[in-house]
């Protein structure tokens, strides 16, 4: 064993051990808890940076040990996993800071932060998993670690939402389990590999493989909130804002979307999946989800609900990009994995600030809120414009590549979906921006505490501003080396020119 074999495990351990330690802290040990949280987050980020630098030099990092016969536990860093690992570990740090500020006066914080750390461990595990079994292990671990976060308020409503969340995700997990076991029976132990590993199997297995694909995509589609499997997502909005941010931007929906990417690219291989005729149904499902989510978002007055339906819509851009043949579409889908995360987390951070400091949760109460919170609302505006796809914010890059990809793959009707979605995005975000900036406030704000020099507590404000800025920078500097776009390009090249 050397560092190359240990590093993926260390990256997981940095948050897993933190989580375990935090569980055993008493409620009053605030200082120690904060220290552990931040230390864990920084160590993880540092390890990830080290790994990225190493990989740029051509090193490989892989942990592998057998659990039972024909059943290996594999963690492996490749370009695709870097995308999600980088996103998770970066945003975890920011969300941790935000959550510490947000939960200042809540009960059971040790429990919360314990599961919070587990949740990130699971999401990094999903990213690093080197074979379907390991992927499944972390996929289920994610369900378990997010459930206590969803019900953290302990209200009857929260528990009901938790139950819905659980039924959806457990059922999805059961489908993935069935698919993974069946696949293992048919072809034995396989690792994820660029351009897929299943193209070589005997043609008599094709019908079974088609069914396995359907099982896996349906199971993953639950977390990725593909319509009609999206029902849990708007309900789970009762969770505290940092949790919503995490669920929507980094952990849960991304695990689902990432799983779809893995299955299509690294398990079946995009060419082989196309040969089996599996991609068009996925394109259609993704298109329906994009339009449906946006339509439902239009009519929501609750800000978090509107953002939730927006997530339903936006996450399917990833599936859409993946389901179209051609490197350009792939780049669009993959880069959106990162871009959507950064933009959506910004929006949720802002929603949390409004709710926590002045009790504004409904969009109809947001009149003139831009004057009270110029910086927060600025970040929100960047995020919202990005979601619509206004250049030069990150979201524009995604949509641009997706549009080009649709043309290149000979499916111009997808372009119509994209245009329709953009119009709808504008339809549900612009009124919010208009109210916030151009309407007069209805009256004095119901301040939660005394207003300090800053418009909101710094622990809430700073992460929000950073992610807002990042949404802009990833768009402006999309051409730079090691921007998400460049990484997505590398992955796409490996997929199509193996």
Q: Which residues bind another protein (CB under 8 A)?
A: 23, 66-69, 71, 107-108, 111, 136-137, 140-141, 143-144, 148, 151, 154-156, 159, 163, 166-167, 170-171, 173-174, 177-178, 181-182, 184-185
| In the complex, least distance from residue 151 CB atom to another protein, rounded to whole angstroms | 6
Element (H, E) at 76: strand 71-76
Phi, psi of 62, rounded to the nearest 5 degrees: -150, 130
Q: Rounded to 10 degrees, what is the CA torsion of 188, 193, 199, 205?
A: 30
> Residue 29 or residue 178: which is nearer to another protein going by CB?
178
> Residue 120 or residue 149: which is nearer to another protein going by CB?
149
Q: How far is CA 470 from CA 46, 177, 338, 348, 488, in A?
A: 19, 37, 11, 15, 17
| In the complex, least distance from residue 149 CB atom to another protein, rounded to whole angstroms | 12
Distance CA 210, CA 22 (A): 44
| In the complex, least distance from residue 219 CB atom to another protein, rounded to whole angstroms | 11
| In the complex, least distance from residue 269 CB atom to another protein, rounded to whole angstroms | 23
Q: In sequence order, which residues have a C-beta less than 8 Å from that of residue 445 and are 6 or more positions away? A: 358, 360, 372
For residue 177, count CB atoms less than 10 angstroms from its CB and return exposed for 0-12, middle for 13-18, buried for 19 or more. middle
Distance CA 170, CA 193 (A): 27
| 244 token code pair | 């919503």
Q: How far is CA 199 from CA 188, 193, 194, in A?
A: 14, 12, 12
> Residue 159 or residue 276: which is nearer to another protein going by CB?
159
| In the complex, least distance from residue 317 CB atom to another protein, rounded to whole angstroms | 30
| In the complex, least distance from residue 224 CB atom to another protein, rounded to whole angstroms | 20
Strand partners, 65: 73
| 175 token code pair | 């489908």
> Residue 145 or residue 289: which is nearer to another protein going by CB?
145
| In the complex, least distance from residue 380 CB atom to another protein, rounded to whole angstroms | 32
Element (H, E) at 183: helix 156-187
> Residue 114 or residue 468: which is nearer to another protein going by CB?
114
Distance CA 497, CA 385 (A): 35
> Residue 122 or residue 358: which is nearer to another protein going by CB?
122
End-to-end CA distance of the chain: 30
| In the complex, least distance from residue 115 CB atom to another protein, rounded to whole angstroms | 11
| In the complex, least distance from residue 154 CB atom to another protein, rounded to whole angstroms | 5
> Residue 177 or residue 206: which is nearer to another protein going by CB?
177
Distance CA 111, CA 158 (A): 16
Q: By C-alpha distance, which of 266, 265, 298 is closest to 131?
A: 266
> Residue 163 or residue 494: which is nearer to another protein going by CB?
163
> Residue 106 or residue 477: which is nearer to another protein going by CB?
106
């Amino acid at each position: 064993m050397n560092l190359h074999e240990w590093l993926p495990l260390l990256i997981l351990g940095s948050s897993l051990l933190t989580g375990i330690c935090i569980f055993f802290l008493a409620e009053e040990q605030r200082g120690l808890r904060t220290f552990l949280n931040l230390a864990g987050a920084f160590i993880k980020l540092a390890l990830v940076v080290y790994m990225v630098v190493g990989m740029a030099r051509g090193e490989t990092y892989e942990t592998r040990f057998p659990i039972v016969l024909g059943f290996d536990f594999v963690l492996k860093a490749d370009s695709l996993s870097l995308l999600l690992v980088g996103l998770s570990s970066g945003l975890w740090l920011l969300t941790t800071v935000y959550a510490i500020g947000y939960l200042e006066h809540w009960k059971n914080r040790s429990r919360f932060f314990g599961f919070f750390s587990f949740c990130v461990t699971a999401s990094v595990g999903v990213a690093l998993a080197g074979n379907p079994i390991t992927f499944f292990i972390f996929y289920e671990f994610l369900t378990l670690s997010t459930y206590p976060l969803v019900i953290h308020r302990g209200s009857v409503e929260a528990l009901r939402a938790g139950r819905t969340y659980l039924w959806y995700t457990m059922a999805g997990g059961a489908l993935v389990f069935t698919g993974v076991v069946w696949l293992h029976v048919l072809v034995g132990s396989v690792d994820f590999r660029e351009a897929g590993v299943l193209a070589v199997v005997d043609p008599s297995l094709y019908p079974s493989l088609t069914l396995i694909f359907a099982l896996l995509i349906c199971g993953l589609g639950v977390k990725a909130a593909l319509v009609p499997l999206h029902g849990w997502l708007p309900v789970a909005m009762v969770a505290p804002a940092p949790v919503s941010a995490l669920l929507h931007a980094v952990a849960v929906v991304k695990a689902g979307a990432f799983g779809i990417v893995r299955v299509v690219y690294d398990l079946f291989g995009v060419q082989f999946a196309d040969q089996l005729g599996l991609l068009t149904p996925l394109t259609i499902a993704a298109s329906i989800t994009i339009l449906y989510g946006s339509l439902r978002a239009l009519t929501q007055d609750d800000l978090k609900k509107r953002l939730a339906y927006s997530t339903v819509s936006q996450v399917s851009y990833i599936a859409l990009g993946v389901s179209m043949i051609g490197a350009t579409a792939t780049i669009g889908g993959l880069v959106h994995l990162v871009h959507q995360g950064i933009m959506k987390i910004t929006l949720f951070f802002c929603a949390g600030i409004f709710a926590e400091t002045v009790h504004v949760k409904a969009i109809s109460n947001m009149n003139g809120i831009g004057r009270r919170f110029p910086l927060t609302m600025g970040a929100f505006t960047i995020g919202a414009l990005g979601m619509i796809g206004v250049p030069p914010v990150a979201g524009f890059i995604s949509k641009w590549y997706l549009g080009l990809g649709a043309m290149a793959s000979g499916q111009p009707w997808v372009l119509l979906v994209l245009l329709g979605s953009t119009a709808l995005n504008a339809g549900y975000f612009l009124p919010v921006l208009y109210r916030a900036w151009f309407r007069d406030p209805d009256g004095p704000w119901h301040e939660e505490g005394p207003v300090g020099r800053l418009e909101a507590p710094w622990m809430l404000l700073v992460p929000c501003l950073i992610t807002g800025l990042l949404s802009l920078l990833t768009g402006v500097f999309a051409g730079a080396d090691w921007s998400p776009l460049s990484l997505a390009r590398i992955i796409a090249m490996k997929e199509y020119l193996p």
